[in-house]
A and B are shown apart, each in its own frame.
Chain A
Amino acid sequence: MFQTIMNFLSLWALPAIIIVILTVALFKKVPLYETFTDGAKDGFKVAVNIIPYLVAIIVGISMFRASGAIDMLGQALSGILNTLKVPPEVLPVMIVRPLSGSAALGVFSDIAHTLGPDSYATKLAAVMIGSSETTFYVLAVYFGAIGISKIRYALIVGLLADIIGFAAAILVCRCMF
């Protein structure tokens, strides 16, 4: 029952938003087609604007991943996680998550396939992925689109929030599973 409602919601959220916006605009006599194309014009400009920022961040992160630094970071942190009874498989999820969304999803699928649905590691990783965001990518795209290079405390806050989220995930999962 719950799952049917969830599926229904995720299927209809987007179409519903579009229908509401267009219908309200039609009643308000907004010239739909002209307004749409006028707004859409900026799409290309925005995408091109973010390229330099994306190159800086994505190249940096690709190099970092290729260097094997993530494995070394994992070894350094494994002591702390052992005392918290966190399965070692989950560690790469936490390190990769703020850096790359697709890589984190890849690591998660790997855990899910090798350890199976009943393992604690799969559930913990699922909660971690579902409750966090690719901090570096979001910052590069959003600030890049408007040409801001001095981001002040935005990255620190984003990363601290990720760490708090992971800690909360460990705590909640230990109580629930």
Chain B
Amino acid sequence: MNYIFYGLIVISIIIGAINGRLQEVVNSILTGAELSVKVAFSLIGIMAFWLGIMKIAEDSGIVNFISKLIKPVTKRLFKEIPEDSPAIGDIAMSVSANALGLTNAATPIGIKAMEELQKHNKDKSTASNAMCMFLAMNTAGFQLIPATVIAVLIGIGYKNPTEIIAPTLLVTTIAFISAIILAKVFEKFWTPQQDKTGGDT
């Protein structure tokens, strides 16, 4: 992460200077910082709502029920996490919310899942294998209904916008499965978590 952060900023400044856009680059620091706070604050309300709902789901045993339901799959994907941890149920609910295109619900539930995974993490400042697996599933962007894309297509008068659903579903499944396989492969070959001298990227 250190190199990426350095790279993004230094490369931007150098390329901005070459392109004669240095002023725009400098201005973007302010707009970017403002945008970050806006994004974070816009999350407060919806985050509180879904964390509240998820707490109810947990206390009423729904999260636990889902955890048991998908145990055969998650046992292999999240080896370090105990089978009865609420983390498993949270992960399942977050992935399902993403799949249904409910981004507003998926992010708070996903963060809740990360908090549960953090309880089983040996080194609290470094990502565990389970976290990397969960985020691989998340960043692959598995989606059953690409609602926003379809909305744009309807807006330009696309006659049959649902015809993109089938190819999207096929592609998103391929990406999702590759992400899981990649995470498993990297888990084997990457420096193990306990070793604090390496593995920082």
Contacts and interface: CB of A to CB of B under 8 A. Distances in A.
Nearest to A29: B60
B49 to A, nearest CB: 7
Interface in A60-78: 60-69, 72
A131 B55 contact: no
A75 B190 CA distance: 33
A47 B131 contact: no
Contacts of B143: 130-131
A24 interface: yes
A13 B147 CA distance: 12
B152 A149 contact: no
B146 A126 contact: yes
Max chain A C-beta neighbours (<10 A), residue from B36, B102, B190: B36
A161 B136 contact: yes
B168 to A, nearest CB: 4
Given A3-B162, A63-B13, A126-B153, A28 B61 contact: yes
Interface in A119-143: 122-123, 126-133, 135, 138-139, 141-143
Nearest to B31: A62
B57 A36 contact: no
B178 A164 contact: yes
A25 B5 CA distance: 45
B126 A150 contact: yes
Interface string B45-89: 101110111111101111000000000000000000000000000
Nearest to A64: B12
A108 B149 contact: yes
Interface residues of B, number: 107
B149 A37 contact: no
A66 B39 contact: no
A87 interface: no
Nearest to B147: A10
Given A50-B40, A58-B35, A112-B152, A40 B139 contact: no
A169 B178 CA distance: 14
A141 B54 contact: no
A115 to B, nearest CB: 9
A14 B101 CA distance: 10
B29 A63 contact: yes
Interface of B: 1, 4-5, 8-9, 11-13, 15-16, 19, 21, 24-25, 27-29, 31-33, 35-37, 39-41, 43-45, 47-49, 51-57, 59-62, 97, 100-102, 105, 107-108, 110-111, 114-115, 117-118, 124-127, 131-132, 135-136, 138-141, 143, 145-150, 152-153, 155-159, 161-162, 164-168, 170-172, 174-176, 178-179, 182-183, 186-187, 190-191, 193, 199-201
9 contacts: A6-B162, A10-B147, A21-B57, A58-B32, A58-B39, A105-B152, A131-B172, A151-B201, A161-B182
Interface of A: 2-3, 6, 9-10, 13-14, 17-18, 20-22, 24-25, 28, 30, 32, 35-44, 46-48, 50-51, 54-69, 72, 105, 108-109, 112-113, 116-117, 122-123, 126-133, 135, 138-139, 141-143, 145-158, 160-162, 164-165, 168-169, 172-173, 176-177
Given A25-B62, A67-B24, A105-B152, 20 more contacts: A6-B162, A24-B61, A28-B61, A44-B44, A47-B44, A60-B9, A62-B32, A64-B11, A108-B152, A126-B149, A129-B149, A130-B146, A132-B141, A139-B139, A142-B138, A148-B118, A153-B183, A154-B135, A156-B201, A172-B171
